Chains A and B, each alone.
Chain A
Amino acid sequence: MGFQAHTPADEDLVSAAQRGDRQAFGQLVERYQDQVYDLSCRTLGDPTRAQDVAQEAFIRAWRAISSFKGQSKFSSWLYRIAVNCSFSELRRRAIPADVSSELDLERSDFPSLASQSFVNELEKQDLVEKLLRSLAPVYRSIVVLHYLHGLSCEEISGITERPVGTVKAYLHRARARLRSSAEDLLQIRESA
């Protein structure tokens, strides 16, 4: 029988952090830093600012951790802080959260796509990145949470404090926009 490392549950780490255990909070940071950074970065579209925003989200979480009562998952609570920090940053920079930017995407960006499918995964990632940037930040954050982070509409509803129906409608609209922008390049029409 091999040795199996004990991985503490979020609840245990949160309880320890609530008692002031900085190490336990450090473990939570380790566990969620990529999710928080990814969400901030894709919502803001600016890696440098995203790092500061992700850091601010964790600092706010540390300060407020004694008020976390466990009514939702810790990750959902943390996501809510990260979403709020990202939108605060957008407001600070006077960027409207609900206005889409024009998609500056040409076939020439992806010459290999004109006649065939993607050459490699990196090209796909680059394209998805550009497609996401064409969405308004509020749609972008919901798409990222749902498709890239795998959260359900109900979880996103709790995080963004919008009704489940609104989240679904946003996802549908965002997906329609992404699809219409991408389908030629992605060759995902029925004929493909």
Chain B
Amino acid sequence: MNCPELQTFEDYLSGELTDPQRCELEAHLQGCQSCRRVLAREQKFDALLRNQPLLKAPAGFRERLLAALDVRDSSRAYPEWLWALGLGLVIATVGLLAGKLGSRPLGRILHEITALVSQSNFGKTAESLQSLPGANLLPQFPGGNSILLINFLIGGVILCWGLWQMVKALRR
């Protein structure tokens, strides 16, 4: 083995060499005074770095941290999923109501779809949905423009995310 590079000595001291690599280096060191001197120098430098004591966290660090957790938790008294459910409901409701009040080019398209559905095998389901309270809103939705439809969809997505987070939280 030729005299190894400096990094090999560093890896040796850090225990990062494989067993065969370590054995090979140790065998080389037996017969190479120059490498033994390099190793001794690196050991000295290694010890200087490794023997540094850890800086201590300031006194009362833990107590201040736990107090900060209390403050932050109290400002987040409601879980994220509850905020998401509320926000989703608000956005979707705004979209729905604004759609009912607005002009209705998209509403007509939905009318067509509703009519198609009512003639299909799902007609009974569609009819039963129309008998539900508030169902009179549905045929006219979104009635406004595509922005309002997007509004409703965003609300729906946030609502679904909130529901998903709620399920995850309850399963924990």
Binding site for B on A (CB under 8 A): 18, 22, 26, 29-30, 33-38, 41-42, 47, 51, 54-55, 58-59, 62, 66, 124-125, 128, 143, 146-150, 152-153, 168, 171-172, 175-176, 178-179, 182-183, 186, 188-190, 192
Contact = CB atoms under 8 A, between A and B. Distances in A.
In terms of DSSP, what is the predominant structure of the interface of chain A? helix
In terms of DSSP, what is the predominant structure of the interface of chain B? helix
- Closest 6 CB pairs between A and B? A147-B49, A37-B57, A33-B57, A38-B55, A38-B54, A190-B37
A148 B7 contact: no
A101 B50 CA distance: 23
Contacts of B50: 147-148, 150
Interface string B1-45: 000001100110011100000000000000000000110110011
B65 A147 contact: no
Contacts of B62: 26, 29-30, 33
Given A148-B52, A189-B41, A51 B58 contact: yes
Most A CB within 10 A of own CB, among B40, B48, B50: B48
B78 interface: no
Given A41-B55, A168-B11, A171-B10, A186 B45 contact: yes
Nearest to B172: A66
Contact-residue size bin, chain B (C-beta under 8 Å from the other chain): 20 to 34
Interface of B: 6-7, 10-11, 14-16, 37-38, 40-41, 44-46, 48-58, 61-62, 64-66, 68-69, 72, 172
Contact of B68 (A30, A38, A59): A59
A47 B46 CA distance: 25
Nearest to A35: B54
Most A CB within 10 A of own CB, among B11, B65, B68: B65
B41 A190 contact: yes
Contact of B57 (A34, A152, A176, A186): A34
Contacts of B68: 55, 59
A41 B50 CA distance: 17
A34 B72 contact: no
A128 B55 contact: no
A37 B55 CA distance: 7
B68 to A, nearest CB: 6
Given A59-B72, A188-B41, A128 B66 contact: no
Contacts of A55: 61, 64-65, 68
Given A22-B69, A143-B49, A168-B7, 11 more contacts: A29-B61, A33-B65, A34-B56, A41-B55, A128-B48, A147-B52, A168-B16, A172-B6, A186-B45, A188-B44, A189-B41
